[in-house]
């Protein structure tokens, strides 16, 4: 059974239609890359799936692991195992990463019928995940994203993803603003989290990230829908030729 | 977004959790205020002549005063004749162990979640040290841990006991920081105060436990006028915790307390308050009028007074815990979180009066307004002409959780010495929807998200609270603010 099935999804923000009949099926164990020029709807897709209420869904349906995703509040989606690594993670001054994660992990565990971890076990769990994604120890003790560099924020997103152990991880342009070392660390983190029951949607503007996170499928999003799908070779082709040839093809057709 | 606002609204409109009252037989005076009332209180308490005289002087002075109107708060005229000025539980228990405390009363404390039993357990199990003087309506019922304290020479008892057992100390210090002529409510308190707490730490003694008082207003139409006096003799230290809850009543109740702190040379007093008096219902009906005068004086060199307050309750709060920095190199601190919701109004802040050389003060104030409430910071930093090298740093932050609430800052600075350095910073912000969504995406619902964000916002202040209080204060913040972005 597929993990995520998106059928004919349409959405708009501030009266402007962004997604116009978007279709996608993601099975467990798969990595899907979604590429596309600026303004094609990539980040809208991520926001709509996560339940950001600034976006209005105007049509279509989304099935997530047998449940109606669009019917769920954002926190329920998260507890059901949908994780969004934000393009611009927000700062929460005064709230330490440890406390933030403790609250989040406790909620997710509760949803899965598990008791909260006692402090000692939680810290051990946190240490394990920190090492997995090579997160600097001192970042964990600081306030959520406060004063973090761009790279640190992105790494913190991957760390949180590791902590919450989602079924589906959506990376919204996680590579933007990262130098090559940070990119490698972030990608390694994702690769270590990959398993046969988990899936990832990697949203990116450039092919670069896909050198490190190798996708099973690459989709090109243009004007609110997928206009082309293929394997990783498609990404290379895009890198070489840019997006214009697709636009041209579409106009001709 | 509509849904989010609804969640926020629900959170904000959560009913007061401490609304209940217990039927305990009380011994009370009839309604009304006159010289006879003052005499009757004094007589019931078997007070010495000097104290009665002092009360009467205060009462006569009060008659000449007008209720102050300068605060940024609105409330109907208070009818001082329609109040009961003395209400004591009958048969004041004389007790040596908790078993002898009236069962209903113990239940009352249990409902508060801060029972004496619990305090006791805490002490045995976790090694936490809290001595409690519980003020139930006007009379102090129970003081725990007196033995341990007595060994160190620390006096911690009800004000009435202090009047009987330590009259010289009371006579010396009563009104020495807040004179009976000070202001309308302090003067009224001086005339009719019924009880409170008294604490004396001898020279060089570091008080071995947190001293704690819980106040509760129980009986109907009783104004509560407590009096607290804390004296830290030279080079001593104490940490004093004060917590308040009041059961739900439709009519407004007046609470006009006076707290006086005296820190002698090299002494330090840390005074922490968590206040969650009944704030009124979501339409602004009922609630406590909290008109309190709190002031400390650093009489000697290197003395230090630190006020920390978390104010979430009361319909109207009017309160400025202040410090007079008389001794050279003395230090004053004020850390405050004030939360207003629904139709609550708070006008709170501090006064730092620098008189001595090299005196230093720090003011950190966090105001959080939700619903239709109004939250004002009012602070005075005054540098006297002899206060060479005085330093002050003030930071006043306001967080708005609704577009219908108000945040105001009224900082006053009077500088009489050129070498002084006074800094004031102020910010106003709103809880971001993006922050809430970020928390939602990690599995936290909107209530939890706001609780977390607000607690983070207040962290600097919460960190100053003793451990025993910090957890309770965090919970209180979440409860009083359940949901309020607009």
- Contacts of B17 by beta carbon, 8 Å cutoff, 6+ apart: B479
- Helix ranges restricted to H, B113-250: 116-126, 146-152, 159-165, 167-173, 184-192
Q: What is the pLDDT of residues B206-240, one digit of tens each?
A: 988 778 765 444 444 455 788 999 999 999 999 98
- Provide the pLDDT for residue A164: 95
Is the pLDDT confidence value at B352 over 90?
A: yes
Structure tokens given for A42: 């990539």
Q: Mean pLDDT for chain B?
A: 79
- Provide the pLDDT for residue A133: 82
Nearest alpha carbon to residue A22 among A74, A51, A57, A53: A57
CA–CA gap between residue A109 and residue A247 (Å, rounded): 46
Per the CB < 8 A criterion, the answer to whether A224 and A18 are in contact is: yes
State whether residue A74 sits within 8 Å of chain B by CB. Answer: yes
Per the CB < 8 A criterion, the answer to whether A238 and A215 are in contact is: no
Is the pLDDT confidence value at A242 over 90?
A: no
Structure tokens given for B476: 């209180």
- Provide the pLDDT for residue B6: 52
Nearest alpha carbon to residue B220 among B340, B84, B348, B319: B84
Flag the least confident range among A160-169, B225-234, B249-258, B355-364. B249-258
Contact between chains at A75 and B3 (C-beta distance less than 8 A): no
Per the CB < 8 A criterion, the answer to whether B241 and B466 are in contact is: yes
Structural domains of chain B, count: 1
Q: What is the 3-state secondary structure (H, E, C) of B175-189?
A: CCCCCCCCCHHHHHH
Q: State how far the alpha carbon of A185 is from the alpha carbons of A90, A190, B131, B198, in Å.
A: 21, 9, 53, 61
B residues 2-61 lying closer than 8 A (beta carbon) to A? 3-4
> Which chain A residue shows the shortest CA-CA distance from B444?
A75
Q: Does this model's pTM top 0.90? A: no
- Provide the pLDDT for residue B146: 66
Confidence at B361, pLDDT banded by 50, 70, 90? very high
Is the pLDDT confidence value at B11 over 50?
A: no
- Provide the pLDDT for residue B274: 83
Indicate the angle between helix axes B35-44 and B49-63, nearest 10 degrees: 150
Secondary structure letter of residue A102 according to DSSP: H
CA–CA gap between residue B268 and residue B234 (Å, rounded): 9
Nearest alpha carbon to residue A203 among A162, A157, A160: A157
- Provide the pLDDT for residue B108: 47
Helix (H) or strand (E) holding B271: strand B268-276
Confidence at B3, pLDDT banded by 50, 70, 90? very low
Per the CB < 8 A criterion, the answer to whether B392 and B422 are in contact is: yes
More confident residue, B345 or B362: B362
Confidence at A30, pLDDT banded by 50, 70, 90? very high
Per the CB < 8 A criterion, the answer to whether B370 and B345 are in contact is: no
Confidence at B435, pLDDT banded by 50, 70, 90? very high
State whether residue A103 sits within 8 Å of chain B by CB. Answer: yes
Angle at B286 between CA B284 and CA B289, to 5 degrees: 100
- Provide the pLDDT for residue B123: 33
Residue ranges and CATH numbers for the domains of chain A are 4-252 (3.40.50.300)
On whether residue B486 sits in a domain, the answer given is no
Secondary structure letter of residue A209 according to DSSP: G
Q: Which domain holds residue B19?
A: 2-481
Contact between chains at B457 and A78 (C-beta distance less than 8 A): no
Flag the least confident range among A184-193, B7-16, B336-345. B7-16
Residues of B in contact with A157 (CB under 8 A): none
Confidence at B421, pLDDT banded by 50, 70, 90? very high
Mean pLDDT (whole number) for B304-322: 89
More confident residue, B311 or A82: A82
On whether residue B174 sits in a domain, the answer given is yes
Q: How many CB atoms lie within 10 A of CB B434?
A: 15
- Provide the pLDDT for residue B126: 31
CA–CA gap between residue B272 and residue B296 (Å, rounded): 13
- Cα B280 to chain centroid distance, Å, stands at 18
- Provide the pLDDT for residue B251: 58
State whether residue B445 sits within 8 Å of chain A by CB. Answer: yes
Task: Select the residue from B335, B433, B441, B445 to test the A interface by mutation, using most A Cβ atoms within 10 A.
Answer: B441
Is the pLDDT confidence value at A4 over 90?
A: yes
Contact between chains at B438 and A160 (C-beta distance less than 8 A): no
On whether residue B32 sits in a domain, the answer given is yes
Beta bridge partners of B374: B345, B406
- Provide the pLDDT for residue B17: 54
Residues of B in contact with A94 (CB under 8 A): 455-460
Residues of B in contact with A52 (CB under 8 A): 437
- Provide the pLDDT for residue B24: 53
Contact between chains at A94 and B459 (C-beta distance less than 8 A): yes
- Mean pLDDT is highest, among A194-208, B83-97, B457-471, for A194-208
Give phi and psi for B291, each to the nearest 5.
-115, 95
On whether residue B266 sits in a domain, the answer given is yes
State whether residue B453 sits within 8 Å of chain A by CB. Answer: yes
> Which chain B residue shows the shortest CA-CA distance from A97?
B456
Is the pLDDT confidence value at B173 over 90?
A: yes
Confidence at B475, pLDDT banded by 50, 70, 90? confident
On whether residue B337 sits in a domain, the answer given is yes
Coil, strand or helix at B463: coil
Contact between chains at A73 and B437 (C-beta distance less than 8 A): no
- Cα B6 to chain centroid distance, Å, stands at 32
Is the pLDDT confidence value at B104 over 60?
A: no
Is the pLDDT confidence value at B68 over 90?
A: no
State whether residue B432 sits within 8 Å of chain A by CB. Answer: yes
Residues of B in contact with A74 (CB under 8 A): 437, 440-441
- CA dihedral (A79, A82, A87, A89) in degrees, to 10, reads 10
On whether residue B149 sits in a domain, the answer given is yes
Q: How many CB atoms lie within 10 A of CB B123?
A: 17
């Amino acid at each position: 059974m597929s993990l995520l099935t998106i059928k004919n999804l349409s959405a708009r923000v501030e009266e402007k239609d962004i997604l116009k009949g978007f279709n996608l099926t993601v099975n467990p164990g798969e990595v899907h890359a979604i590429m596309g020029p600026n303004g094609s709807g990539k980040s809208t897709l991520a926001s709509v799936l996560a339940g950001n209420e600034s976006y209005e869904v105007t049509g279509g349906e989304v099935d997530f692991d047998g449940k109606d995703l669009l019917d769920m509040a954002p926190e329920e989606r998260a507890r059901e195992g949908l994780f969004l690594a934000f393009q611009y993670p927000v700062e929460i001054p005064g709230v330490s990463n440890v406390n933030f994660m403790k609250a989040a992990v406790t909620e997710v565990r509760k949803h899965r019928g598990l008791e909260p971890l006692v402090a000692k076990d939680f810290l051990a769990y946190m240490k394990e995940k920190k090492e997995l994604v090579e997160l600097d120890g001192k970042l964990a003790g600081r306030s959520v994203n406060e004063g973090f560099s761009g790279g640190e924020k992105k790494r913190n997103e991957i760390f949180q993803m590791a902590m919450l152990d989602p079924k589906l991880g959506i990376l919204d342009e996680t590579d933007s603003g990262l130098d090559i070392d940070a990119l490698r660390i972030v990608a390694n983190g994702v690769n270590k989290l990959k398993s046969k029951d988990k899936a990832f949607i990697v949203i990116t503007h450039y092919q670069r990230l896909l050198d490190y996170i190798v996708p099973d499928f690459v989709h090109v999003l243009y004007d609110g829908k997928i206009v082309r799908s293929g394997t990783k070779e498609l990404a290379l082709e895009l890198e070489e030729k840019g997006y214009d040839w697709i636009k041209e093809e579409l106009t001709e057709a | 977004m509509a849904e989010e606002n609804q969640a926020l609204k629900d959170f904000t409109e959560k009913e007061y959790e401490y609304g209940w009252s217990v039927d305990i037989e009380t011994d009370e005076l009839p309604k009304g205020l006159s010289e006879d009332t003052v005499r009757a209180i004094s007589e019931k308490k078997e007070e010495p002549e000097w104290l009665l005289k002092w009360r009467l002087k205060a009462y006569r002075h009060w008659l000449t005063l007008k209720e102050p109107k300068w605060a940024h708060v609105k409330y109907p005229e208070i009818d001082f004749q329609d109040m009961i000025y003395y209400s004591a539980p009958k048969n004041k228990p004389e007790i040596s162990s908790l078993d002898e405390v009236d069962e209903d009363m113990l239940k009352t404390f249990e409902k508060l979640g801060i029972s004496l039993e619990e305090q006791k357990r805490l002490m045995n199990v976790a090694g936490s040290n809290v001595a409690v003087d519980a003020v139930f309506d006007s009379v102090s019922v129970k003081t725990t841990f007196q033995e341990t304290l007595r060994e160190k020479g620390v006096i911690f008892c009800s004000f009435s006991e202090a009047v009987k057992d330590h009259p010289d100390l009371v006579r010396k210090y009563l009104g020495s920081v807040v004179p009976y002529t000070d202001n309308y409510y302090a003067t009224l308190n001086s005339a009719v105060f019924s009880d409170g707490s008294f604490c004396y730490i001898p020279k060089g003694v570091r008080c071995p436990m947190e001293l704690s008082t819980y106040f509760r207003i129980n009986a109907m139409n009783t104004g509560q006028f407590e009096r607290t006096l804390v004296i830290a003799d030279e080079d001593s230290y104490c940490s004093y915790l004060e917590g308040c809850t009041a059961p739900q009543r439709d009519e407004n109740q007046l609470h006009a307390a006076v707290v006086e702190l005296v820190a002698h040379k090299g002494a330090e007093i840390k005074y922490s308050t968590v206040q969650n008096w009944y704030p009124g219902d979501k339409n602004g009906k009922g609630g406590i009028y909290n008109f309190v005068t709190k002031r400390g004086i650093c009489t000697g060199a290197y003395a230090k007074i630190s006020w920390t307050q978390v104010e979430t309750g009361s319909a109207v709060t009017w309160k400025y815990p202040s410090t007079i920095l008389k001794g050279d190199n003395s230090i004053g601190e004020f850390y405050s979180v004030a939360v207003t919701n629904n139709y609550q109004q708070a006008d709170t802040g501090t006064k730092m009066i620098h008189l001595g050389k090299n005196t230093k003060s720090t003011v950190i104030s966090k105001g959080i307004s939700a619903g239709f409430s109004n939250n004002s910071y009012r602070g005075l930093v005054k540098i006297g002409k002899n206060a060479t090298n005085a330093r002050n740093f003030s930071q006043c932050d306001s967080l708005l959780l609704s577009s219908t609430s108000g945040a105001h800052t009224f900082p006053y600075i009077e500088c009489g010495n050129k070498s002084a350095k006074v800094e004031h910073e102020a910010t106003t912000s709103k809880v971001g929807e993006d922050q809430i969504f970020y928390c939602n995406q990690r599995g936290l619902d909107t209530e939890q998200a706001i609780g977390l964000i607000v607690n983070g916002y207040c962290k600097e202040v919460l960190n100053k609270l003793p451990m025993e209080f910090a957890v309770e204060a965090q919970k209180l913040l979440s409860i009083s603010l359940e949901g309020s972005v607009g």
